[in-house]
A and B are shown apart, each in its own frame.
Chain A
Amino acid sequence: MSTNAEKYYNQIDAYLRGALTNEEKAVFEKLLQENTGLRKELSLHKELYAQFDDTDWVGHQFEGKNIDFKNAEAYFRSEEANAFKEVIEKAEENYKNKSQTRFLSTKKIVVLLAAASVALLFVFTTLLSKDTTEELYAQYNDWQDLPSLTSRGNTNTNSLSKGQVLFEEGNYQQANTIFESIVTTEKELPINVLIYAGATALELKNYTEAIGYFDKIIASDAIDHSKGYWYKAMVYLKQGKKEKVIETLEIITQLQNNYKYKEAIELLNKL
């Protein structure tokens, strides 16, 4: 090992651990641009740090002349690999079919009951009315059931409760201003705040904004992030984008633990 490389280790660590001043950082980054060897050392260090961080992955730029890389690429393009892919797909299909049959035999009663109630619901709803998406939206949005924001130990409690009151009074414009400012200033946002922010935007027909908030919920690692899908479905429902509604609801119906799992099935049947 060259002592030359070792000389940089402390700086690389300081850089990765955020221990450099802004000036030092700028100098180091300039050095990085000029020095390929240093970039490689940094990359290796990043990979070592990533070994201990379950959420991180460090990509690597392999050299153009790397034979193993070329061979791998060639293999993935080969007919052999494509044939194998087909076998994989068939196997996946076998697996899915089989696990479904097993599900039927062990949980037959549950399934039958569920099927019966869905069928009943279907008959019931189709007999009663041909709902438009607008009507369905009115029926399924649950703004009146949103959890209260005041109980949270948040520094923004005052503006939160104010926003909630405005929202409940139907003063969406002012509520929206409040929630928007909270969302843009706070880093760690509770899911409920995002729901309110999205709901106000939706009521104001700012659909893209609403979807943005709900996507944030989906992308979060909160236990109840599946709520995002439900509210997103509500946006599409209000817009009358039937296909999008169906697509989103189908995500919900994949896992029983998902928020509004039953309602999603019900609504899918009505569409």
Chain B
Amino acid sequence: MISFALNPFYPSFIMQDSNYYIQGILHSDETVITQIYKNFFPKVLKFVCENKGQREDAEDVFQKALLQISARIKLKKLEVIHSTFEAYIFTACKNLWRRELNKKKNRVTNLEVKELVSEESDMAYALLEQERWELLREKLDELSDNCKKILGLFFKKVSYSEIVKQLSYSSEVVVRQRVFKCKAKLISNIKADKRFKNLQ
């Protein structure tokens, strides 16, 4: 008779803080990984299928995300995840799928002629790109609310005149100055972070 804690299909509310999953991945624990599939795969499957993908794509992305997380645990001694494990693995999958779609797009339009790399190198690219993505996200989050708002619109390519309207600024000149200052601050924060140096 299997105990509750080991039964992968026992309701998920019992266990499952992120540390539980991290330990499971660290020790290649088949039971825990099966629970990860059961608890988090359906959401990823739905996301991929709603975004031009098939079941196999979702399976592929999920495998890669798990492998990516294992690399981060083992190489970077990742122990604590600041969000829930669900948010963490879902973001990893979402980004891997965006990356995949963009690779396909670039292949079709020939925008970027990148030499073919082995699967392992590609995984390494994906991992470090994900880390850069997280660093940027973190630095964006750390900005003042005012900068966050204005840059949020700016990076969505909203026009200066539209930003004036939406945020009730007095003129475009003021918005341009504000954008410039906020962006300079953001970029200098990114570059000052010691992790950034290793992500070049």
Please indicate whether A and B come from the same complex rather than being unrelated chains.
Answer: yes
Chain A interfacial positions (CB closer than 8 Å to B): 1, 6, 9-10, 17, 40, 44, 47-49, 51-60, 62-63, 66-69, 71-73, 75-77, 80-81, 83-85, 87-92, 94-95, 98-99, 219, 221, 225, 251, 254-255
Cβ proximity bits B60-84 to A, threshold 8 Å, 1 near / 0 not: 0011001100110011000000000
Report whether B54 and A1 are in contact in the complex, using a CB–CB cutoff of 8 Å. no
Contacts of B37 in A (CB 8 A): 91-92, 94-95
Q: Are B59 and A92 in touch, CB under 8 angstroms? A: yes
Question: What residues of B have a CB within 8 angstroms of the CB of A89 in the complex?
Answer: 63
In the complex, what residue of chain A is closest to B119 when comparing beta carbons? A76
Interface residues, chain B, with chain A CB atoms under 8 Å away: 8-9, 25, 28-30, 33-34, 36-38, 41, 49, 51-52, 54-55, 59, 62-63, 66-67, 70-71, 74-75, 95, 98-99, 101-103, 112, 114, 119-121, 123-125, 127-129, 132-133, 136-137, 140, 152, 155-157, 180, 183-184, 186-188, 190-191, 198-200
**Are A81 and B71 neighbours in the complex by a CB distance under 8 Å?**
yes
Please give the distance in Å from A250's CB to the nearest CB on chain B: 10
* Complex: A244 Cα to B140 Cα, angstroms: 48
- A73 to B187 CA separation, bound complex (whole angstroms): 28
Minimum Cβ distance to chain B for residue A72 (Å): 4
| A90–B180 CB distance below 8 A | no
Is the beta-carbon distance between B30 and A68 smaller than 8 angstroms? no
Cα distance A73–B156 when bound, in Å? 34
Report Cα–Cα, A44/B133, bound state, in Å: 10
The 9 closest A-B pairs by CB, nearest first: A91-B33, A95-B37, A72-B124, A76-B120, A57-B98, A73-B124, A91-B34, A52-B155, A57-B102
> A166 to nearest B CB, angstroms?
31
Given contacts A51-B140, A84-B70, contact A57 B99 (CB under 8 A): yes
Tell me, rounded to whole Å, the shortest Cβ–Cβ distance linking B78 to chain A.
13
Beta-carbon contact of A73 and B180 below 8 Å: no
Which residue of A9, A77, A94 is within 8 Å of B34 (Cβ)? Answer: A94
B95 and A57 form a contact (CB under 8 A): yes
**Which residues on the B side are within 8 Å of A48 (C-beta)?**
136, 140, 155, 183, 186
- Asked if residues A53 and B156 are in contact (CB atoms below 8 Å), the reply is yes
CA distance A91 to B35 in the complex (A): 8
Asked if B67 and A76 make an inter-chain contact with CB atoms under 8 angstroms apart, the answer reads yes
Which of chain B's residues have a CB closer than 8 A to the CB of A255?
A: 49
CB-nearest residue of chain B to A87: B28
A49 to B136 Cα, complex, angstroms: 11
- Report the Cα distance A94→B33, complex, angstroms: 10
The answer to whether A47 and B132 have CB atoms under 8 Å apart is yes
| Among B25, B29, B70, B186: residue with most chain A CB under 10 A | B70
14 other contacts beyond A88-B67, A95-B38, with CB at 8 A cut-off? A17-B157, A47-B136, A48-B136, A58-B129, A68-B198, A72-B124, A76-B124, A81-B67, A81-B70, A81-B71, A84-B70, A91-B33, A91-B34, A98-B38
User: How far apart sit A221 and B75, CA to CA, in the bound complex (Å)?
Assistant: 38
- Contact of A1 with B188 in the complex, beta carbons under 8 Å: yes
Indicate if the CB atoms of A60 and B155 lie closer than 8 Å: no
Contact yes or no, B198 A51, CB < 8 A: no
Which one, B95, B102, B120, B127, contacts A77 given CB within 8 A? B120
- The residue of chain A having its C-beta at the shortest distance from the C-beta of B102 within the complex is A57
Asked whether A76 and B71 contact (CB < 8 A) given A63-B200, A84-B28, the answer is yes
* CB closest residue in chain A, given B59: A92
- The minimal Cβ–Cβ distance linking A7 to chain B, given in whole angstroms, is 11
Q: Given that A44-B187, A51-B133, A51-B136 are known contacts, is A219 also in contact with B52, CB under 8 Å in the complex? A: yes
Chain B: which residue is nearest A77 at the CB level?
A: B120
How long is the Cα–Cα vector from A84 to B63 in the complex, in angstroms?
10
| Complex contacts, B188 vs chain A, CB 8 Å | 1
Given contacts A51-B140, A67-B198, A91-B36, contact A75 B54 (CB under 8 A): no
- A172 → chain B closest CB, angstroms: 28
A236 to chain B, nearest CB (A): 18
CA distance A62 to B98 in the complex (A): 19
Q: Quote the shortest CB–CB distance from B6 to chain A (angstroms).
A: 13
